[in-house]
Amino acid sequence: MKHGMSQDSEHVSVLIIGSGPAGYTAAIYAARAGMSPVLYTGGQPGGQLTITTDVENYPGYPEGIMGPEMMEDFRKQAERFGTQVRYGLVTEVDFSARPHAVVVDGQKTIFAETVIISTGASAKWLGLESETRLNGRGVSACAVCDGFFFRGQEVAIVGAGDTACEEASYLANICSKVYMIVRRDEMRASQIMQNRVKNNPKIEILWNTETQEILGAEEVTGMRLLNTKTEKISEISISGFFVAIGHEPNTGIFKEFITMDEAGYIKTIPGTTKTNVEGVFACGDAQDHVYRQAVTAAGTGCMAALDAERFLASLEN
């Protein structure tokens, strides 16, 4: 894409791509600073929280709140201060010159003095029909978010990496028993993490095991498993099923211009949200594969807006 290709174009000082806690927080700060931000929601307005039912760990909601409702509150607050929230998907970018060119829905070009990337990450799933149907009804991709709801109950977690081990250990502190489903006869996790789960009496590792189905009509009641070595099928009763097979950052369209790690997470200058491209900032799960919480995403969204504001101020001097 070359600058000025699209017939339909406009110029903005701050363009925010993505509408989770990071994007909306960036919008609130940018709007209050008089920067008239434009925010494009992306394909999942509200981000990952819209597929989360109860959010109980975000400060300020003592009774908890439903994920979609919380993101609606974020959106209203951003709009109250003058953010233009638009539904649309960024399909192409050109960060080779400023203003940066961003194409929306393959049609409209926005020329932006600063761009805040808050496109988030998507959990990888097993791809089972029952997994989709029971999502939020016992199926979750975040043990730290949802483990509390299964206090004293038996649960399962799928995965074999450090995150899966970490989440299994976390669940073992809360739940009466944790089945850890590992596809092969070994784990990808570091030795120290493997030892932690192997030595935990509450965690039972099921090696060479694949999940055939998650059982339950309205909520999770059990799982059907296949042992790939013996070909034996078994059913185990559980009330929570956690998937920890990784996340995929939604950063593909930026690859040509933005420095990322091998997994596709955007690299930012430590202590800031600055990327390798001047005037482009990244916040939330698109650049954070460690914490991945709504509250940390919101924090980096605030940082990105302040970084963008300082960058614009430096241009005027």
- The domains found in the chain, sorted by start residue, are 9-122+247-316 (3.50.50.60), 125-243 (3.50.50.60)
pLDDT at res. 52: 66
Other Cβ atoms within 10 Å of 70 Cβ, number: 22
Exposure of 171 by Cβ count < 10 A (0-12 exposed, 13-18 middle, 19+ buried)? buried
Q: How many helices (H) and strands (E) does the chain have?
A: 7, 19
105 is catalytic: no
Catalytic residue, chosen from 146, 285, 288, 307, is 146
The answer to whether the beta carbons of residues 289 and 123 sit under 8 Å apart is: no
Instruction: Flag residues of the chain having pLDDT under 70.
Output: 1-7, 51-53, 317
**Residue 145 catalytic?**
yes
285 is catalytic: no
pTM of the model: 0.80
Tell me which of 54, 142, 162, 302 is the catalytic residue.
Answer: 142
Phi/psi at 147 (nearest 5 deg)?
Answer: -55, -35
DSSP of 178-213: EEEE-SSSS-SS-HHHHHHHHT-TTEEEETTEEEEE
pLDDT at 40: 96
Q: Which of 145, 165, 175, 283 is catalytic?
A: 145
Give the strand pairing for 139-140 and 121-123: unpaired
Strand order in the sheet with 139-140: 139-140, 240-243, 154-158, 177-181, 203-206
- Identify the residue whose tokens are 């908890």: 64
